[in-house]
């Protein structure tokens, strides 16, 4: 355990990448190796196009391009912003949070209304880089946002030292020590889990990332065949189920799932069919990763080195390890009485929802609904359906006499990530609010059941 | 799967037949538990965002159902992906062209 000064101040300079040998493989692009020296040359070239300081939205879909832009930004003291979505309302909020924020992208789809910063790579004939730049551990490399409960995204600063220690702890847990592993992922690098595991883990442990974003099952199959073993696939329960249902016959060494708990049945099927060891990671945007487990061996979570949990004020707090300051978790947790590094997850706090791995708070979504001109009252509801690894959608009840459901949906679409759009959106004359202004959850369940049964009658 | 049908040069597309459009509409509605009845989906309306309102999670579910039912695989690095999911009609045209069963 560390004591004394702030850990970020104590650790001095850290390398930009962990590949000590510039000839070692840092990335795979379409099956071709990219050396660490070439990656660093690309980072140097990209940094030349970037202004010093300020903030950057990194929209690159290709993980290699994302990594080059991220590392170039770190060397130029540019902080990468990781918002929960890129809807026009979120872009507006970013502009208010950090005026002058620019963006980089490797494609021309869905460009935000922000200044574009060009992204350049080294030319094939350019010399590779032989030395690894150093970065102060205290440098804020990224700011991740959670939706919070006040209607405004909440910023969480990620210092290079903290990101470095998180990646080192993850590498130790996964048995990565230097070059050799190929890291595959179905999760985008713009979210914390994807950033930590499919970008920073390989860059800061000496393993190799893969550039391709894997979406369809056929792409996962091809990436596994193309990458040299040992391979680690980072995915989510939803993508894992979709991939297994496609009938895949690929085998690999390790699969890691995160963002939502996996059912034991899917965990067993995954290990039996792929031959892989299946691990789960538990973490959140605020703290980064906290713990792992192998669900076919034990339901208990095992915290990363140095990370400790404690109960206080009816809440579980995490501290130690890479966590910069004690942080309250939004899940219900039973800590092992004999070991503060071992625990069971009992569920999420009542206000939090998780849809296909994306988290949000109902209070935030209610704020977004209420902010639409013409909406008099409105509330989101998460139906408690038992659909392991399936996708349960939200329901919204809305009072808006002058608006159509289509107009409300269009307004919501410009504000929130599409996975949180209500299905269905039910128009009502009034919401059953009690004297305190609260709506009892039983009332919401009753309204949801009534909406479902009227739908069935229409179908009949 | 070396002989992925997407490697074939683009050929003249057969017009999507109404029965196939309807069949795919039924599969989309049932796979996604949608609020609409299959016959009410405009075959030319966009499937995602404004239109039917599908997102990337839905697209994966639809791709799974379609690949099982018609025996071909979709890929994202396929430049035609956006076009395939542009509408029910374009999805049906793709199925008609690539189906193996």
- Mind listing the pLDDT tens digit for each residue in A58-112? 999 999 999 999 999 999 999 999 998 899 989 999 999 999 999 999 998 889 9
**Section B48-59 average pLDDT:** 81
Domain A7-348 has CATH 3.40.50.300: no
Residues on chain B touching A215 (C-beta within 8 angstroms):
56, 60, 76
The alpha-carbon gap from A305 to the nearest alpha carbon of chain B, in Å, equals 35
Residue A372, token pair as written in the block? 């639409």
Instruction: Please give the average per-residue pLDDT across B4-28, as a whole number.
Output: 68
Question: pTM here?
Answer: 0.88
Place of tokens 């060009």: A118
The pLDDT assigned to B9 comes to 43
Is the minimum CB–CB distance between B55 and chain A shorter than 8 Å?
Answer: yes
**Residue A319 near chain B (CB below 8 Å):** no
Strand, helix or coil at A349? coil
| A203: Cβ contacts below 8 Å, ≥ 6 apart | A17, A18, A26, A67, A71, A167, A209
Q: Does A175 touch chain B (CB under 8 A)?
A: no
The confidence score (pLDDT) of residue A2 equals 41
The beta-carbon neighbor of B57 closest among A213, A238, A246 is: A238
Residue pointed to by tokens 């996964």: A174
**Contacts of residue B28 in chain A, CB cutoff 8 Å?**
none
Q: State the pLDDT confidence band at B54, using cuts at 50, 70 and 90.
A: confident
Count Cβ atoms below 10 Å from residue B96 Cβ, excluding itself: 17
Q: Where are the domains of chain A?
A: 7-348, 352-459
Task: Kindly list the averaged pLDDT for each block of 10 residues, start to end, along chain A of length 460.
Answer: 46 92 96 96 96 96 97 98 91 93 92 95 92 96 85 89 96 93 96 96 98 94 96 95 95 95 92 98 94 96 96 92 93 93 87 86 90 93 73 91 93 92 92 84 89 62
Q: Residue B1 above 50 pLDDT?
A: no
A212 Cβ under 8 Å from any chain B Cβ: yes
DSSP A322-334: T-SS-EE-SEEEE
Q: Which fold has domain B17-33+43-98?
A: 1.10.1200
Does the pLDDT value for residue B6 go beyond 80?
no
CB contact under 8 A, A409 and B73: no
Which two three-digit tokens encode residue A381?
């509801």
Which of A246, A391, A421 has its CB closest to that of B64? A246
∠ CA A104-A109-A114, nearest 5°, is 45
Q: Are B94 and B8 in contact (CB under 8 A)?
A: no
Asked if A238 and B55 come within 8 Å (Cβ–Cβ), the reply is no
Q: Which residues pair with B54 in a beta bridge?
A: B48
Torsion of CA A62, A293, A232, A224, to 10 degrees: -100
Interface test with A, best of B3, B7, B38, B57 (most A CBs within 10 A): B57
B8 CA to chain A: closest CA distance, Å? 17
Domain ranges within chain B, ordered by starting residue: 17-33+43-98
Sign of CA dihedral A177, A182, A187, A190: positive
Q: Are strands A182-185 and A231-235 parallel, antiparallel or unpaired?
A: parallel
Cα–Cα distance between A396 and A426 in angstroms, integer? Answer: 6
Which of B 63-92 lie inside 8 A of A, CB atoms? 63-64, 67-68, 73-77
Q: Give yes or no for B7 touching A (CB within 8 A).
A: no
Nearest CB to B76 within list A216, A245, A413:
A216
Same fold, A7-348 and A352-459: no
pLDDT digits (tens, 9 = 90+) for A441-460: 889 999 988 887 776 555 44
Residues 6+ apart with CB under 8 A from A450: none
pLDDT (tens digit, 9 = 90+) per residue, A293-350?
Answer: 999 999 999 999 999 999 998 889 999 999 999 999 988 899 999 999 999 998 877 7
According to the model, what pLDDT value does residue A381 have?
93
Please count the residues of chain A. 460
On whether the A352-459 domain is CATH 3.30.300.30, my answer is yes
- Please provide the average confidence, as pLDDT, over all residues in chain B: 79
Q: How many CB pairs under 8 A join A and B?
A: 60
**Among B35, B56, B67, beta carbon nearest to A424:** B35
> Considering only CA atoms, which of A452, A378, A455, A388 is closest in space to residue A416?
A378
| A window 223-242, beta carbon within 8 A of B | 238-239, 242
Query: Residues near A130 by Cβ (< 8 Å), separated by ≥ 6?
Result: A22, A37
The complex's ipTM?
Answer: 0.77
CB contact under 8 A, B67 and A221: no
């Amino acid at each position: 355990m560390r004591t004394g000064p702030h850990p970020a101040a104590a650790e001095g300079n850290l390398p930009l990448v962990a590949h000590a040998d510039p000839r070692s493989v840092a990335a795979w692009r379409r099956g071709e190796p990219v050396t660490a020296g070439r990656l660093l040359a690309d980072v140097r070239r990209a940094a030349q196009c970037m202004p010093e300081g300020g903030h950057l939205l990194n929209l690159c879909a290709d993980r290699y391009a994302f990594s080059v832009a991220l590392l170039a930004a770190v060397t130029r003291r540019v902080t990468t912003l990781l918002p929960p979505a890129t809807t026009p309302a979120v872009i507006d909020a970013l502009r208010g949070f950090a005026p002058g924020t620019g963006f980089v992208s490797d494609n021309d789809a869905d460009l935000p209304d922000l200044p574009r910063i060009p992204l350049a790579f080294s030319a094939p004939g350019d010399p590779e880089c032989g030395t690894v730049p150093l970065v102060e551990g205290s440098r804020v490399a990224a700011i991740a946002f959670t939706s919070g409960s006040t209607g405004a995204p909440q910023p969480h600063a990620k210092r290079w030292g903290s990101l470095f220690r998180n990646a080192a702890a993850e590498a130790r847990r996964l048995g990565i020590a230097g070059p050799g592993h190929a890291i595959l992922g179905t999760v985008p690098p713009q979210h914390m889990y994807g950033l930590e595991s499919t970008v920073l883990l390989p860059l800061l442990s000496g393993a190799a990332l893969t550039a391709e974003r894997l979406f369809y099952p056929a792409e996962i199959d091809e990436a596994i065949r193309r990458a040299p073993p040992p391979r680690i696939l980072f995915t989510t329960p939803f993508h894992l189920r979709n991939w297994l249902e496609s009938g895949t016959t690929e085998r690999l060494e390790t699969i890691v799932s995160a963002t939502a708990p996996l059912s034991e049945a899917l965990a067993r099927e995954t290990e039996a069919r792929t031959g892989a060891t299946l691990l789960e990671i538990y973490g959140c945007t605020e703290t980064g990763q906290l713990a792992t487990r192998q669900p076919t061996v034990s339901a208990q979570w095992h915290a990363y080195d140095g990370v400790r949990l404690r109960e206080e004020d009816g809440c579980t707090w995490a501290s130690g390890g890479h966590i910069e300051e004690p942080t309250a978790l939004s899940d219900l947790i039973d800590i092992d009485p004999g070991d503060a590094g071992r625990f069971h997850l009992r569920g999420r706090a009542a206000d939090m929802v998780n849809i296909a791995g994306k988290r949000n708070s109902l209070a935030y979504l209610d704020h977004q609904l209420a902010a639409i001109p013409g909406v008099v009252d409105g509330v989101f509801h998460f139906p408690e359906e038992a659909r392991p690894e399936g996708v349960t959608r939200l329901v919204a009840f809305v009072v808006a006499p002058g608006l159509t459901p289509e107009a409300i949906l269009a307004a919501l679409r410009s504000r929130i990530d599409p996975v949180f759009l209500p299905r269905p959106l039910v128009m009502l004359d009034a919401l059953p609010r009690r004297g305190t202004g609260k709506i009892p959850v039983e009332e919401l369940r009753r309204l949801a059941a009534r909406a479902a049964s009227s739908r069935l009658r229409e179908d009949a | 799967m070396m002989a992925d049908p997407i490697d074939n040069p683009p050929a003249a597309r057969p017009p999507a037949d109404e029965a196939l459009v309807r069949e795919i509409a039924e599969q989309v509605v049932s796979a996604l538990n949608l609020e609409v009845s299959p016959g009410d989906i405009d075959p030319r309306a966009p499937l995602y965002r404004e239109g039917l309102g599908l997102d990337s999670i839905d697209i994966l579910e639809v791709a799974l159902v379609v690949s099982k039912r018609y025996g071909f695989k979709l890929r994202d690095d396929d430049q035609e992906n956006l076009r395939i999911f542009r509408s029910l009609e374009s999805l049906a045209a793709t199925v008609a062209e690539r189906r193996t069963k």
